[in-house]
Chain A
Amino acid sequence: MTGLIHERELSRRSFLRGSGALVVGFSLAGALGAGRASAAGIDPFASNGPYPMNALDSWVAVHGDNTATVKLGKVELGQGSLTGLLMIAGEELDLGLDQLRWVHHDTDVTPNQGPTVGSSSIQAGGKQVRAAAAAAARATLLSLAAKQLGVPVSSLSVDRGVVSGGGRTVTYGELIGDKLFNVTVPSSYNLNGSGGFGGPAGLAAGAPLTKPVSRYGLVMTSPPRIDIPDKVTGAYTYVHNIRIPGMLHGRIVRPRGQGAYGGGTAPPIVSVDERSISHIPGARVVRYGNFLGVVAPKEYDAIQAAAQLEVTWGQMPTIREVGNLFEGMRADDTAGKAPARIVVEYGSFDRAFANAAHTLEQSYAYHYNGHLPIGPSCAVADVTSSGARVFSNTQDAYGTRQNVKDALDLVLGAKALPLDRIRVTYYEGSSVYGSAPYRDAAQAAAVMSALVGAPVRVQFMRWDEHGWDNYGPAQLTDIRAGIDQDGNLVAFEFSALGIPYWTTPATQQQVGGTPVFSALSHVDTTISGEQYAVPNRRVIGKSLPLENTYFKVTYLRSPDAPQSGFAAEQAIDELAYMAKMDPVAFRLKNVATPTSPVPDVAQRWRNVLVNAAKDAGWQPKVAASRLSSDTVVTGRGIAFGHYANTMTCCVADIRVNKKTGKIVVENLHVAADSGLVVYPGGARNNEEGAAVQGVSRALIEEVTFDDHHVTSLDWVTYPMLRFKDAPAVVVHELQRTDVPDPAGPGSRSTGSGEPALPPVAPAIANAFFDATGVRLREAPMTPARVRGVLRAAGVV
C-alpha cells in the first residue's frame, strides 16, 4: 500500500483542516517538535528548523516502547550512511539497530548538519550524532536512571536500552518515553559548530564522554543496510513516488541542451504558440519571464504537451565546440583571460626544476562529465498563500529551502513567503553524486505550483537531465616536474586551467534572477603533489571566464580529483619511467614522509600504496618493458587517489585492442585509508561503486556540444559503462583506530563515498602505457583517442 501513503499523509483536505499526522512516519508530535508549541502535524507549512544544535531534543527522541528516533540532518543517498549513523547512535546508547528509527531530513524536524556532501556523513555528521544523539542522551538517561534506581551512575550498566543497577532495572522508555528531554547539551560535547564538510563539531570515536573504542560492539561491524530490503521489493518511497491529491504533472520546456552559463542557461523566449497544445486534455502553458513549462492532470499528457509545444527561442551565445574545448582554454589563457593564483608553494621550484637531472613538461586534458542519475530530477511542490511544501531529493534541505525562496521571491514579489513558511522534506531520489539539478527541479516545481495554484510534480525528461545538468568541470592541467640522478622527486609544479563553479540554478535565472558568477576555479591541492616528499612544489590555479563561454559546472563525485589525479599520477609514472624504475618502487621512494611539508598524513599514503600493491600481487618492473606486438595486449598500472581526507591507491589491470582502440578494465584493486571505518561493509560497497564509476568516467563519459549547446542528451550520445565491460573490484578498507582527529581527542573517521574514484583514471592510463608504450593524456580514453595516439606513435 505504499503507493497510497502519501495520499493518506498529504491529503490537501487534511492540510486545510489542520489535522492528521503528516509526513513523519510515526505519531510522536510532542517529542519531535523540539520544544516548540506547534507540534509536527498541525501545520504542514511550518518550517521552524533548524533547532538549536545544543538542544538534545533537536537530535533524539526516546519512545515508550524503548526505541529511539534519531533526527538526521544527513541524507541517505544509497551510500549507507543512514545505517552507519544509526550504528553510531546505537553504539553510544547501547541500543540495537532494530531499536532505532530515523526521520527524513526536513526543515521542520531535523537539525542542520550541513549538506550531505564531501563524504561528510560519517566523518563530520557522525561526530555530531555521537556527541548529541548518543553520548549526551545516554548521560541524561543514566542520570535519570540513577535517581530512579537509587544508585550512583557509576554502578549502572545498559543493554538494549535496559538500565540495570542495584539489582533492579528500568528501561529508557520508562524513564522518558515520548517526553522532551528539555536538556541543553553542555559545551563539553562540542555541539555548537558547523557540521559541513569536515566540521569540528561533535566528538570523535573514543573521545572523553563517549564509549571507548575497545568496547565497541556495533560500530566497526557490517550489519545489512537498513534501506535495502524496501529497495528490492518496490516498497521504497523515492521522491518520484510522492503524490498529493489534486496534483498536476509538470514538465519544464527548454531548448534541448543548454548553452554556456549566463545567456545560454536562460535564453530568451521569442514566442510560444499555446494553440499547439490545445488538443491535449487539460494541458496548460506555465510561463514567467523566460521560464517555460507545461502542466496537465495526466503525466503522459504533460509529456506530450512539453514535446509538442511550439516555442521559438532566442539565440544562445556562440561557444567553442567540444573538439576545440582545450584549444579554447589555451587561447583564453594566452589572451590573459584566465587569471592565475598560487595556492600552494614551498621550496624553490624554479631553481630545482632548472637543476633537475630529468625533467617532464606535459599537459593533461579531462572533459566535462555529467551527474546524470538513472532517475532524473524530480520534485513535488505545493505553494499556497500561507506556505509552501516541497519534496525534494536535495542533499541539503536547508539550502534548498533558500533556493526555493529565491525563486518564489522573484515570482511572487510582495506576496513572497518567509523562510519559516517554506518546508522542504527529503525523500531519496536516484544517484545524484553531487549537485545534479535537484535545486533546479525544486524551484521549477515551486514556481509552477505558485503560478497554477495547485500542487505540481515536476520530473525532468532524460534530455532535460542530460542537457541541463550542472556538469563536472573540464580541466586542462600543465605539469612541470623534475627528478635527480637517483630518482628522487625534486620539483613538482601543477597548474590547472579550471572553470569556476556556478551558483544560480537555471529556473532562478529564467524567472529573472541574476546569475552569480564565481570568480575562482577550484584547485585540488592534495593529489597535486602532496602525496610525495617533494621539497619544491608549486600549485597554480587559473580561472577561466565562465560567463557565456563555458557550461555551468559544480560538484560531481570527488570534485576536481579525477581531473587532477589523471594529470598528476600520470606525470609521476612518466618520471618513474625516466628514472628506469618500477612505478611502485618509484612511489615508495618518493612517498610523503614524516619530514614532508605535510607530515601528518604521510603514513596513510604509504599504507595505501603498500597495501594496494600487495593485494594486487604487484610484480616489480619498469612500465612498458615487456611490450607485445599482438593486437590485444594487457597492462597494469598504479595510481594514488584522494578525497574527503581519505587516501586511496588503485592498481588497474587492463586489456587493449590496438585495432579497435577499446580498453577493457579487468581488475581493480583499491586500498583506502579512511581512518576508523564505522561501517566497513557499507564503506566497501560504496567504494566499489565509486571505482566502477571511475572506470566509466575514465573510459567513456564525455559531454559533447556544438557551437551553441550541449548535444549529449541521452545514454546513446552520452554513454556510460555497461555490464559487459564492468571490472572485478576488490576494495581493501584499512581499519585504523590510530588516526588522530584534528579537532580534538579521539579516532578520526574520514570519507568513504568518493575517494576510490580519483585513482582509477590515472591507474588505467598508466596501465595503457604499460601495455602499449604510448601515453594517452586526454580523458575519457575512448577507442577513437586510443587509436589516435597509437597511430601517431606508429604502433598501429
Chain B
Amino acid sequence: MASSLKIKVNGLVHPVSASLDTPLLYVLHNELHLHGPRFGCGLAQCGACSVLLDGKEIRSCVTPVAAVSGREITTLEGLPALWAKERGLTGSAPVLHPLQQAWIDVQVPHCGYCQNGMMIQAADLLSTTKNPTDEEIRTAMNGHLCRCGTYPRILTAIKQAAAVMAKGGK
C-alpha cells in the first residue's frame, strides 16, 4: 500500500512509497539507496542497521518507517554533515566525521559490514559523553556485534575521535 509519508534523512525530505509498517531499513536501502545501514539480523540484536533518530541510535530494521516521520534521521552517509552542523559550520560539509577518520587511521574494519552501527553508536555516545572512559565505551558499544574481532581497534578509534572532537576537529 503506497502512502503519502515523507521522511527526513540527512537533511533532505524524501517521499516514501513503502507501506507504513515497513521497517525504516528497507526504505533507506531500497528507496533512498543508502548503503550505510545494513541488514544483519532483522531482530535488533546486532546493530548493523543502526541510524541516528534525533541524535540517538536506533535499530532501523525493527523501526516502522511511519514512526520516524517528522523527525531527523542521520545515517552513516550523513555523519560528516552532522559534524559540520555541530561545529556551526555552514557550506560544504567536511569529507569525514572524526569517527570515520579515526576508523581509517586505526585501520578498524575488516569486512566492515558491522562498522556502520559501530560508528553510529559511537557518534551517539560522544554527543553526550565527550571524554568517555574505556568502561563507558565498552558499555555503550556492547549491543553491537562484530564477527571479525575489531572491538579492540574500535576502542582505540573512539578515543582518538573523542580527542579530536574535544578540540573542535583540529
Which of A's residues lie within 8 Å of B, judged by CB?
2-4, 77-80, 224-225, 227-229, 231-238, 240-241, 243, 281, 298-300, 303, 372-376, 428-431, 433, 459, 461-462, 681, 685-686, 688-693, 696, 714-716, 720-724, 726-729
CA distance A376 to B39 in the complex (A): 8
What's the tally of chain B residues with a CB closer than 8 Å to chain A? 57
Identity of the chain A residue whose Cβ is nearest the Cβ of B47 in the assembled complex: A374
- Mark out the residues of chain B between 65 and 106 whose CB falls within 8 Å of any chain A CB in the assembled complex: 75-77, 96, 100, 103-104
A686 near B145 with CB under 8 A, answer: no
A374 near B35 with CB under 8 A, answer: no
Contacts of A78 in B (CB 8 A): 109-112, 148
Known: A234-B77, A688-B153. 17 other contacts (CB 8 A): A78-B110, A78-B112, A227-B109, A228-B104, A232-B76, A233-B76, A233-B96, A238-B38, A298-B18, A373-B147, A375-B113, A429-B111, A689-B149, A690-B149, A693-B147, A723-B144, A726-B152
Interface centre among A233, A686, A716, A729 (most CB of B within 10 A): A233
Identify which of B43, B153, B155 contacts A685 (C-beta below 8 A): B153
Distance (Å) between the CB of A754 and the closest chain B CB? 12
Identity of the chain A residue whose Cβ is nearest the Cβ of B95 in the assembled complex: A233
B147 near A720 with CB under 8 A, answer: yes
Distance (Å) between the CB of B18 and the closest chain A CB? 7
B152 near A688 with CB under 8 A, answer: yes
Identity of the chain B residue whose Cβ is nearest the Cβ of A457 in the assembled complex: B30
Tell me whether B116 is interfacial, beta carbon within 8 Å: yes
A722 near B107 with CB under 8 A, answer: no
Contacts of B152 in A (CB 8 A): 688, 692, 726-729
User: Could you show 18 A-B contacts with beta carbons less than 8 Å apart?
Assistant: A78-B110, A78-B111, A227-B109, A232-B108, A232-B109, A234-B36, A243-B30, A374-B114, A431-B113, A431-B148, A689-B148, A691-B149, A692-B152, A693-B148, A714-B41, A715-B45, A721-B149, A726-B152
Identify which of A80, A430, A462 contacts B113 (C-beta below 8 A): A430
Contacts of A722 in B (CB 8 A): 142, 145
Distance (Å) between the CB of A354 and the closest chain B CB? 44
A692 near B149 with CB under 8 A, answer: yes
CA distance A375 to B46 in the complex (A): 10
Chain B, residues 27-52, CB within 8 Å of chain A (1/0): the string is 00110111110111111011010000
Contacts of B77 in A (CB 8 A): 233-234
CA distance A373 to B86 in the complex (A): 35
A374 near B113 with CB under 8 A, answer: yes
Contacts of B45 in A (CB 8 A): 462, 714-716
Chain B, residues 113-156, CB within 8 Å of chain A (1/0): the string is 11110010000000000000000011101101111111111110
B38 near A233 with CB under 8 A, answer: no
Contacts of B18 in A (CB 8 A): 298, 300
CA distance A354 to B1 in the complex (A): 78
Distance (Å) between the CB of A256 and the closest chain B CB? 13
In the A-B complex, list the 5 residue pairs whose CB atoms are closest, starting with the nearest.
A3-B33, A692-B149, A234-B36, A231-B112, A78-B111
Contacts of A693 in B (CB 8 A): 147-149
Distance (Å) between the CB of B81 and the closest chain A CB? 12
A430 near B111 with CB under 8 A, answer: yes
Tell me whether B19 is interfacial, beta carbon within 8 Å: yes
Contacts of A688 in B (CB 8 A): 149, 152-153
Distance (Å) between the CB of A417 and the closest chain B CB? 29
B147 near A431 with CB under 8 A, answer: yes
CA distance A526 to B146 in the complex (A): 30
Identity of the chain B residue whose Cβ is nearest the Cβ of A726 in the assembled complex: B151
A233 near B42 with CB under 8 A, answer: no
Interface centre among A233, A374, A461 (most CB of B within 10 A): A374
B113 near A298 with CB under 8 A, answer: no
Identify which of B26, B34, B38, B112 contacts A299 (C-beta below 8 A): B26
CA distance A729 to B40 in the complex (A): 26
A686 near B110 with CB under 8 A, answer: yes
Tell me whether B160 is interfacial, beta carbon within 8 Å: no
B35 near A238 with CB under 8 A, answer: yes
Interface centre among B96, B112, B114 (most CB of A within 10 A): B112
Contacts of B42 in A (CB 8 A): 303, 461-462
Tell me whether B22 is interfacial, beta carbon within 8 Å: yes
Q: Given contacts A461-B42, A727-B152, A729-B152, is CB(A228)–CB(B112) below 8 Å?
A: yes
Contacts of A461 in B (CB 8 A): 42
Contacts of A372 in B (CB 8 A): 147
Distance (Å) between the CB of B100 and the closest chain A CB? 5
Contacts of A2 in B (CB 8 A): 33, 35
A374 near B40 with CB under 8 A, answer: yes
Contacts of B114 in A (CB 8 A): 374, 430
B48 near A375 with CB under 8 A, answer: yes
Distance (Å) between the CB of A79 and the closest chain B CB? 7
Contacts of B138 in A (CB 8 A): 723-724, 726
Contacts of A681 in B (CB 8 A): 107
A232 near B26 with CB under 8 A, answer: no
CA distance A580 to B112 in the complex (A): 47
B112 near A227 with CB under 8 A, answer: yes
Contacts of B116 in A (CB 8 A): 234
B103 near A374 with CB under 8 A, answer: no
B104 near A375 with CB under 8 A, answer: no
A224 near B112 with CB under 8 A, answer: no
CA distance A430 to B115 in the complex (A): 11
Interface centre among B48, B77, B107, B148 (most CB of A within 10 A): B148
Contacts of B113 in A (CB 8 A): 238, 373-375, 429-431
B39 near A240 with CB under 8 A, answer: yes
Identity of the chain A residue whose Cβ is nearest the Cβ of B109 in the assembled complex: A231
B115 near A231 with CB under 8 A, answer: yes
CA distance A234 to B51 in the complex (A): 12
Contacts of A228 in B (CB 8 A): 103-104, 107-109, 112
Identity of the chain B residue whose Cβ is nearest the Cβ of A230 in the assembled complex: B112
Identity of the chain B residue whose Cβ is nearest the Cβ of A756 in the assembled complex: B149
Distance (Å) between the CB of A511 and the closest chain B CB? 26
A234 near B76 with CB under 8 A, answer: yes
B142 near A724 with CB under 8 A, answer: yes
Contacts of A691 in B (CB 8 A): 149
Interface centre among A224, A237, A726 (most CB of B within 10 A): A726
Distance (Å) between the CB of A795 and the closest chain B CB? 29
B142 near A232 with CB under 8 A, answer: no
A236 near B151 with CB under 8 A, answer: no
CA distance A688 to B109 in the complex (A): 12
